[in-house]
Structure 1
Amino acid sequence: MSRVSLFSAPFLLGFDAFEERFDRLAKATEGYPPYNIERTAVEGEGERYFIAIAVAGFARNDLEVIAEDNQLIVRGRQTEDGARQYLHRGIAARQFQRTFLLADGMRVEGAELKNGLLAITVYRPVTKPVARRIDITSIE
């Protein structure tokens, strides 16, 4: 049985890649690490988004932030220290990957690690609608 999707409507052309990304994001529902997203409007200039991800225990070199193909990918990898002997271990060395889908035109401006929070700034400038007349040619 074939799957019917909203994106398979005949008037939505070229959205198949968007549908694949959306499906991939829907499957990534793990709640670790927790995060906040805050939006502020910059009058006449656009919007800024601040993503704060709780990454306590991760050093700067353990984290990776990648903006690729309308996605923001944040990865964290901690390595086990075999020389340590724990009497109790309640804080595990975990790996994670958190993905955010970005709209067209959004730019990742930077990332900062401070007090156990990874703060990522994303900016969406105001875009003016573009309309152009398409010439019609005649084939005889």
Structure 2
Amino acid sequence: MRNNYDLSPFRRATVGLDRLFDMLENGMTEQAADNYPPLDLEQEANDRYRITLAVAGFRPDEIDITSQQNLLIVSGKKRQQDERSYVHRGIAARSFERRFALDDYVQVRSADLREGLLSIELVRELPERMKPRRIEIHGTEGAARLSDQRDPPANENQKDRVAA
């Protein structure tokens, strides 16, 4: 089943979200995705993730991991065919390619292949200029700092006045 959605009214009402709309439109037109090899996607901490792919039968030199801007591509291709005669072959040895869209500032930290599982560590690291920071307010009476305390709601002030 294919749905046709017109996202152009949303595109006109937003600034800087073109990539998001491109991903939505491309996702709607793609056919059912191949789910080989199976994978787990874990969030280990607020800005740390791990992708684990089950790649039984593949050696490290048969797997390629490519990180581009906002895209991670994991592909595998068996280098040589086995000369054995199988009665049943249940361990898949077909080539694969999995693509993962990465958020801004997400970087691949490491990749490890153990016991048929490929683990890829991802970390989101915001640059210093993107992190929240406190801004000082300067006036004619000297420097005043912004405070974390908020003014009480207007209805609380009214309760104090009525009680007085």
Match of 2:156 in 1: none
Alpha-carbon shift at residue 5 of structure 1 (Å): 1.4
Match of 2:64 in 1: 64
Alignment RMSD (CA, Å):
3.0
Alpha-carbon shift at residue 9 of structure 1 (Å): 2.3
Q: What is the distance in 2 between the residues matched to 1:38 and 1:82?
A: 34
TM-score (norm 1): 0.73
Q: What is the distance in 2 between the residues matched to 1:25 and 1:62?
A: 28
Match of 2:38 in 1: 34
Match of 2:90 in 1: 90
SS of 1:123's equivalent in the other structure is strand
Q: What is the distance in 2 between the residues matched to 1:105 and 1:80?
A: 37
Segment drifting more, 24-33 vs 107-116: 24-33
Q: What is the distance in 1 between the residues matched to 2:9 and 2:58?
A: 39
Equivalent residues in 2 for 1:113-124, closer than 5 Å:
113-124=113-124
Match of 1:19 in 2: 21
Say which one has the larger Rg.
2
Structure 1 unaligned blocks of 5 or more: 131-140
Q: Tell me the matched-pair count.
A: 127
Q: What is the distance in 1 between the residues matched to 2:36 and 2:47?
A: 27
TM-score (norm 2): 0.64
Report the identity percentage: 36
